[in-house]
Amino acid sequence: MPQVTAINVYPIKSCGGIARRSAELRERGLEGDRRYMLVDAEGVFLTQRRHPRLALVRIADADGGYRIEGPAGPPLHLPREWPEGPAVEVRIWRDRVEATLLPDEVGGWFADLLGFPCRMVYMAEHQHRAVPNDAAAFDDEVSFADAAPLLLTSDASLAELNARLPAPVTMRRFRPNLVVDGEQPFEEDSWRRIRVGEAELEVAWPSARCVLTTVDPDTGAMDPAGEPLRTLRSFRRGPGGVLFGQNLIPRRLGTLRVGDHVEVFDLR
């Protein structure tokens, strides 16, 4: 039976993650995952796809919130939950959602990093975004994640990819929430529903990968040869794109822990 080998939370969309030994599963995903997001002056979301320097933003738990560090300048502190602020409309992919705007000094910290004006927003409990996929139920919700509440990848699948690459990459390129081990590469493709500890999750649809996987999380530079996406495209191209990992939707909430067994109780 597969086991959970890593749990990751990304408090700010497209910035560094925090490895956790356990995490609470909520309707929108892991607690604290992608509740903050950067937007430009028009309210359009920002990611490493066009701004790879965001990979240099490191985040750690500190003082009941998060310590944010960049390649230069003083660190920034954010609480786990932003208390209040003006509501603004922001755009993430095709979705237009209401979010809470943070003070200018927070956006200014990131503007210094990126070199242009930007703002930070937060998704409060009363602000909602539907899962943007036909595989979801009408009342499924998601945070500022690209597609689904959680992303799952497997160590066996990464090992198969690395065996084909000119130089191996780490799982950080794929920014998963849950990593599991397993005997066979891409066996997660056949899963439909899993139980992890107290929680149950629907394996809803495969994750289509993009140029973000070519960003080195240590340097913030894009791979000039387009790896690992180039190699992944040679053997993992499907109807939905170049596939690596599975998108999950919570169906029963609970605590997830590293070392939990992954019970697969429904297959495709």
User: How sure is the predictor about 230, in pLDDT bands with cuts at 50, 70 and 90?
Assistant: very high
What percentage of the chain reaches a pLDDT higher than 90?
A: 96
Residue 239 pLDDT exceeds 90: no
Question: d(Cα 267, Cα 88) in Å, to the nearest integer?
Answer: 42
pLDDT of residue 268: 87
Report how far apart, in Å, the C-alpha atoms of 8 and of each of 22, 23, 34, 162, 166 are. Answer: 9, 9, 11, 21, 27
Reported as a single tens digit per residue, the pLDDT across 28-45 is 999 999 999 999 999 999
User: How sure is the predictor about 257, in pLDDT bands with cuts at 50, 70 and 90?
Assistant: very high
- Average pLDDT of the segment spanning 44-63: 97
Q: Per residue, what are the HEC states of 172-206? A: HHHCCCEEECCCCCCHHHHEEEEEECCEEEEEEEE
- Average pLDDT of the segment spanning 65-71: 97
- pTM > 0.85: yes or no: yes
Residue 127 pLDDT exceeds 90: yes
pLDDT of residue 72: 87
Report how far apart, in Å, the C-alpha atoms of 43 and of each of 113, 129, 171, 221 are. Answer: 18, 16, 30, 25
User: How sure is the predictor about 10, in pLDDT bands with cuts at 50, 70 and 90?
Assistant: very high
Quick one: how far is CA 268 from the chain centroid?
A: 24
Domains and CATH numbers, the chain: 4-267 (2.40.33.20)
Q: What is the DSSP string of 31-51?
A: TTTT-EEEE-TTSBB--TTT-
